[in-house]
Amino acid sequence: MKTLRGFFGGLLLGVAVAGAAPAQGQEGPAKIVGVIHEVNPEAGVLVVREAMKGTVVQRSIDFGPQTRVLQSGRDTAHRIVDRPAAPDQLRRGDYVVVTTTRDGGRLRAVEVRVTRGAEG
């Protein structure tokens, strides 16, 4: 049990560190890890809430036709697989990992990997 706790603790720490990169103002690809708070495919805006250093931060991210959207799930052999999805399939409450770049002062999504919540 302690081994699993240590594994998941390390995994969460890794996710938190990966999600912190955009806040540092780094150029190039960075990851935002969190839950969709709002999505508007028509306007091309995705708002993600991520936990960072004990607080919750909202990130507004632009996306468009060039953004790759993938739905993570399991196949019949219980392996994790990613399937292409459309931006209009993104829902509030979905857990996402968004690979972003900076376009001027704005975040732009290159890829959105979504895992649907248990209720969705």
Report pLDDT for 41: 87
Tens of pLDDT, residue by residue over 34-83, are 999 999 988 999 999 999 888 999 999 999 999 999 999 888 888 989 99
CA distance 89 to 22: 25
CA 19 to chain centre: 9
- Torsion angle of C-alpha atoms 118, 92, 111, 14, degrees rounded to 10: -60
Give the mean pLDDT of 9-14.
46
Instruction: Say if domain 2-115 classifies as CATH 2.40.50.320.
Output: yes
pTM, full prediction: 0.72
Structural contact between residues 100 and 61, judged by C-beta atoms closer than 8 angstroms:
yes
Is the confidence at residue 18, as pLDDT, over 80?
A: no
Report pLDDT for 117: 55
Residue 22 gets which letter from DSSP?
A: G
Partnered with residue 31 across adjacent β-strands are 99
pLDDT band at 99 (very low <50, low <70, confident <90, very high): very high
